[in-house]
Structure 1
């Protein structure tokens, strides 16, 4: 009995191809837990798509993926002086976000990140004049800019990239390749028209692998179903049942990422009100699970265990049978499945 990731392979791959067609020169991204699919699986998919480059998050990921992907590996985390050395092949390309970092990678293949409105990392405009001598000692693969997902101030992504292209050109730095993140196909097309001598390469992960929500589905198998009466105690903490019903034990616990939720940026009165309501319910041990039965997400009976979760079903809901599978609304980037099953659609 397992937490299973079901993949409609035909549909999933059709979506991948549509993204490749929209973004010529795309660099697929495979980082973290491989967007829920695993590094080896995404490396295989990138190879199938004939990608010449795969972006990974860290040098440790690159060391793992190098045995599954034969093209170039672009490490997105910037190099830092004094970092632990990780043996990598020459086809690995390091991102760098400082002049000192460039100088510390003599002979290496590098991509230089510029500081965007993300304010995360990157060389500043004042650094550009210092790069001339520094890049003579490395193999420069291009520059890169990582843009924000949302622009609540009304600024324009194309204008931000355009501004940096002009600064780089004014500094007489090579503009043969620009790696970009979080631009639409239309925005990229506009930049290509403005800078026809530059090759723009979009680094894309979420849209590539998770853009078609209906192509994948998590399901947890039901392991046990137990009737419980009002007032009876159950679980690790021996809570009392508030009413008659059933306890449903389903595959999927904390080791799978069940119950793990990343903080969210909340805007507007209604989302804030919902957040306050959820927090209030949690104080009385009422937490909504990701598992769905009879058309509704069901409540945890208690916090999820390491490999299973216990759900509470009220007495007016017919329970599932052992062996049934419950759909689970889980975040791919924080979920670890027991098995993956490919299903071919017509």
Structure 2
């Protein structure tokens, strides 16, 4: 693209191509609603006036790959920030035939904000991958957007089977049972309290993990008492306060399972209180959970590789009607860290 005071404008492209400014904007920003013939005509005009260089025209003008938007919850969850970093890395190294990616962080736990983002993203996107909130507003927006021809896939947390939207993630009920087995075995006690911390039950991934955990503890470790679930909204500060309260109120606490993210708040509380005896299982292999495994504050981390998650989502969006199998669960202990 040209630089300096004489830099060409979109109006120059519109005048040379004989089309409207709206059409030029759609072509340059890869929005939907322009025929292939018009698109190539506008791109040639953009090159002729010096608005785009040869490489840019080649990339934008290649046989149109999908425009894909990724919508993730905002906040302090290190795993979701890592997933966002992986999306941005894919954007930076994209080739001519790769999907055009955009990534936005939406206010966490806000169904109305996510529903609005789905509708707005559909104006540009051929496909949207999003971390779902199980809520009527979000289901209605998803149905509306899919009905208009935009492909959808949910990441990590889905909308439930009745929504009919493809999902890429773990079998979260089985994940919760796995966490229950680890806590029960590692605690090595017939009696004691075990606690759960979650982001929110509005994330189906969290409610499914909770259900799986409770069923396993009830089935295999009936002597362990279950403390009511705390919702920490994937916020380290909230999780820290919840953990301090648990340690104060439950002197017989033997285990904690963090169903969601931001485990750093829990490990901080356990370290401050010197409670290395409490079995702690959490999610997402990130810098903070890696440190906690190494110093013994965490016993195990349940993980789904964010690069694999993104690759599978893009593959699913490229194949309309695909219904992928659950991803493989990775379990990391101090001794098998990559």
What TM-score, normalized to structure 2? Answer: 0.29
- Using CA pairs under 8 Å that are at least 6 residues apart, name the structure with larger relative contact order, 1 or 2: 1
Choose between structure 1 and 2: higher strand proportion.
Answer: 1
Choose between structure 1 and 2: higher helix proportion.
Answer: 2
What TM-score, normalized to structure 1? Answer: 0.29
